């Protein structure tokens, strides 16, 4: 299956990526080569095959949703905020969304 530069642009929009107009056809060409590789799967009849997400058919283990009393929530929050690009009074800042 081939993908054209317009489809690349639409997919890029979904993925929040910008593909410059001058790169679009090269990107489309390379992705088409990957999709051609992937299309080898279509030759196999998988009608009766159950899809497999985990080889051991394990299900995700869930834990009880409770705060860890040994953890200093304030300190942890501060540690996470220090590495953020822009914060203010405990909030992560982004450009204004609503006028």
Partner 1 sequence: MKALHELTVAQIQQQLIEKKFSSREITEHYLNRIDTLNSDYNCYITVDANGALTAADKADQAIAAGSRAPLLGVPIAHKDIFCTKGVATTCGSRMLANFVSPYDATVVSKMKVAGTVMLGKTNMDEFAMGSSNETSFFGPVKNPWDVETVPGGSSGGSAAAVAAQLAPAATGTDTGGSIRQPAALCGITGIKPTYGRVSRYGMIAFASSLDQAGPMTKTAEDAAILLNSMSGLDHKDSTSLDTTVPNFTATLDDSLAGLKIGIPKEYFDQRLDTAMADAVQVALAELEKLGAKLVDIELPNSALSVPAYYVIAPAEASSNLSRFDGVRYGYRCEDPEDLEDLYTRTRSEGFGDEVKRRILVGTYALSAGYYDAYYRKAQQIRRLIKEDFVRAFEQVDIIAGPTAPSTAFKFGAKTADPVAMYLEDIYTIAVNLAGLPAMSLPAGQLENMPIGMQLVGNYFAEQKLLNVAHQFQLATQWHTSTPTSLKG
Q: What residues line the site for partner 1 (CB under 8 A)? A: 3, 7-8, 11-12, 14-19, 27, 30-31, 33-42, 44, 46, 49-56, 58, 60-63, 76, 79-80, 82-86, 92, 94-97
Q: State the minimum distance, in angstroms, from the CB of residue 72 to partner 1.
A: 12
Q: Using the minimum distance from each CB to partner 1, give the nearer residue, 69 or 85.
A: 85
Q: State the minimum distance, in angstroms, from the CB of residue 26 to partner 1.
A: 10
Which residues does 39 contact at the CB level (< 8 Å), separation at least 6?
1
Tokens at 38, concatenated: 């992937």
Q: Is the dihedral of CA 70, 71, 75, 79 positive or negative?
A: positive
Distance separating alpha carbons of residues 54 and 52, to the nearest angstrom = 6
């Amino acid at each position: 299956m081939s993908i054209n530069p317009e489809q690349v642009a639409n997919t890029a929009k979904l993925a929040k990526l910008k593909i410059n107009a001058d790169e679009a056809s090269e990107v489309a060409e390379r992705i088409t080569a990957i999709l051609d590789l992937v299309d080898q799967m279509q030759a196999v009849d998988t009608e009766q095959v159950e899809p497999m997400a985990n080889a051991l058919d394990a299900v995700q283990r869930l834990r009880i949703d409770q705060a860890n009393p040994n953890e200093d929530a304030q300190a942890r929050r501060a540690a996470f905020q220090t590495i953020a690009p822009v914060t203010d009074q405990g909030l992560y800042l982004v450009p204004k969304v609503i006028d």
